Amino acid sequence: MALIKKENAKQKGLAIFMTESKRQFAPVLFIAQPLPTIMKNLLFLLILLIGFTNIYGQTDTEKLISGVWFFEEKCDFRTEEEKSTEFKEMPFKPIPKGYPKLELKINGQYHEYQNPDFIEHSGKWKIEEQELVLLQKMELEIEGAKSFETQAKSGYLEKIDGEYYLPIKTNIKKITDYTLELGNEKLYEKYRRK
């Protein structure tokens, strides 16, 4: 390889080297700069790269949470006094292992199964400020109760595309590719993706 150094470029603080590659027969231009300038440029590029990684490399919670989640266990670290104020609902029959199952579809729909044969709740879901919001679709109006329209005006129900939904908000305590924890530090449910 032939090496040519230009004197006038050196006077400006830069050294320009031209080499001719035997394989390509085309001159290749290398610009060598003083070390402090190179370090500043590398630092700028590193900061820029970290910024883009943080913006585009973050895991999108909605993509991560969508899928089928099987119930694993309920973790309860409340005191006996805190537990005594809770209304306990007794199931009609034993719930099979892995249920209730929660299916969160990418299109924003969800189904909650109490057992393999029965969809207990369905509707829409969304993420708002680290909360999973299940919008449970209201099917039947009960005579004598407030109408869905009245409940929507009072903020108890949400009206979306002419249908009424009951919003159920749950904190997302932890989410990974295979684990979902919904609740708070004292009481939460663990779900696992299979």
Q: How many domains does the chain have?
A: 2
Give the tens place of pLDDT for each residue, 126-162: 999 889 999 999 987 777 667 888 888 888 899 998 8
Q: Kindly indicate the confidence band of residue 30, based on its pLDDT and cuts at 50, 70 and 90.
A: very low
Same domain, 29 and 88: no
Long-range contacts of 186-190 (CB under 8 A, 24+ apart): 186/76, 186/77, 186/78, 186/82, 187/74, 187/75, 187/76, 187/77, 187/78, 188/74, 188/75, 189/71, 189/73, 189/74, 189/75, 190/71, 190/72, 190/73, 190/74, 190/75
Same domain, 101 and 71: yes
Same domain, 141 and 162: yes
Same domain, 159 and 146: yes
Same domain, 75 and 156: yes
Over residues 2-24, mean pLDDT: 49
Structural tokens at position 115 = 């057992």
Tell how strand 158-160 and strand 3-5 pair up.
unpaired
Which of 18, 36, 56 is the last residue in one of the domains? 56
Across all residues in the chain, what is the average pLDDT? Answer: 77
Same domain, 107 and 165: yes
Same domain, 69 and 114: yes
Structural tokens at position 61 = 């919670």
**Can you give the pLDDT at residue 115?**
82
Which range marks the domain in which residue 127 is found? Answer: 61-192
Percentage, residues of the chain above pLDDT 90: 32
Same domain, 120 and 167: yes
Tell me the CATH number at 66: 2.40.128.280
